[in-house]
Amino acid sequence: MLNEIKLATGAAVSLGVATAALVVLPYIQVKDIHPPAELKPYTEQQLRGRSVYIANGCVYCHSQQPRDRSHGPDTARGWGRASVPADYVFDQPHLLGTMRTGPDLFNIGARQPSADWHLGHLYQPRAYVPDSNMPAYPFLFRHKPAVEEGDVVVQLPPGQNPPGRITVASQDALDLVKYLQSMNHTYPVIAPAQTPPGAASK
């Protein structure tokens, strides 16, 4: 009986310590964080695109968290400044990712703002990046003999369209591209240091 009490007590203490370290302390650290002034909530279309991003497993190959330059070459790769907790205020759930089979997407909207590029890249990545191992997503598009009102035609490189057909983006593809374009975290997150009066003249 005594051993059972010790076991139960040890388990309770372990659970308490783990909860404090992994839940309580992180919550205390970030509970008062506010979004940077230039970070805006997602629009309805961007949120739909975020759902498409999740549904198609993009998070399994792409991260959204550039590291500090002292922890890796992310800055040298052109992925932007290191992310901070305030960057993710509007992200529910967070899509930080743990794999980098593909490049980090934290600033893909700044690196590649073109909707045409994103649509074509989703349709056939290797037409844009020859050595890409990203899967194609042709099911997000439709092939039609002619353009109809409201269609968004995808401008593909030569040889990518089926003969006699045009490629049109589905609403899911358009929403996903809007979400990708929204990932632009080039705003400053730390206010510049104030220059003391008269310092500039010295």
Its pTM stands at 0.81
- The answer for residues whose C-beta is within 8 angstroms of residue 87's C-beta and 6 or more apart is 36, 39, 106, 185, 189
Residue 11 in any domain: the answer is: no
Residue 189 in any domain: the answer is: no
Residue 152: closest CA among 167, 139, 164, 140 = 167
Q: What is the percent of the chain where pLDDT is above 70?
A: 91
Residue 54 in any domain: the answer is: yes
Q: How confident is the model at residue 139 (pLDDT cuts 50, 70, 90)?
A: very high
What pLDDT does residue 198 have?
54
What pLDDT does residue 202 have?
45
Residue 26 in any domain: the answer is: no
For the cut 80, the answer to whether the pLDDT of residue 123 exceeds it is yes
Residue at 130: amino acid letter: P
80, 107 Cβ separation under 8 angstroms: yes
For the cut 50, the answer to whether the pLDDT of residue 195 exceeds it is no
Residue 30 in any domain: the answer is: no
Q: How many angstroms separate the CA atoms of 153 and 171, rounded?
A: 12
Residue 166, domain extent: 36-182
Structural domains counted in the chain: 1
Please report, for the domain that includes residue 143, its CATH number.
1.10.760.10
φ and ψ at residue 14, rounded to 5 degrees: -60, -45
DSSP per residue over the chain, as a string?
Answer: -HHHHHHHHHHHHHHHHHHIIIIIHHHHHHTT----TT--PPPHHHHHHHHHHHHTTGGGT----PPPTTT-STTTTT--SPP-GGGGTT-SS----S--SS---TTHHHH---HHHHHHHHH-GGGTSTT--PPP-GGGEEEESS--TT--B--PPTT-SPTT-EEEE-HHHHHHHHHHHH----S-SSPPPPPPTTGGG-
Residue 47 in any domain: the answer is: yes
Residue 158 in any domain: the answer is: yes
- For the segment 73-95, the average pLDDT, to the nearest whole number, is 92
Residue 121 in any domain: the answer is: yes
Return the ∠ at Cα 164 (arms to 161 and 170), rounded to 5°.
50
**Maximum Cα interatomic distance, the chain, rounded to a whole number of Å:** 81
Q: Which of 15-24, 124-133, 139-148 has the lowest mean pLDDT?
A: 15-24
Instruction: For residue range 24-80, list pLDDT tens digits in order.
Output: 776 676 667 888 889 999 999 999 999 999 999 999 999 999 999 888 899 999 999
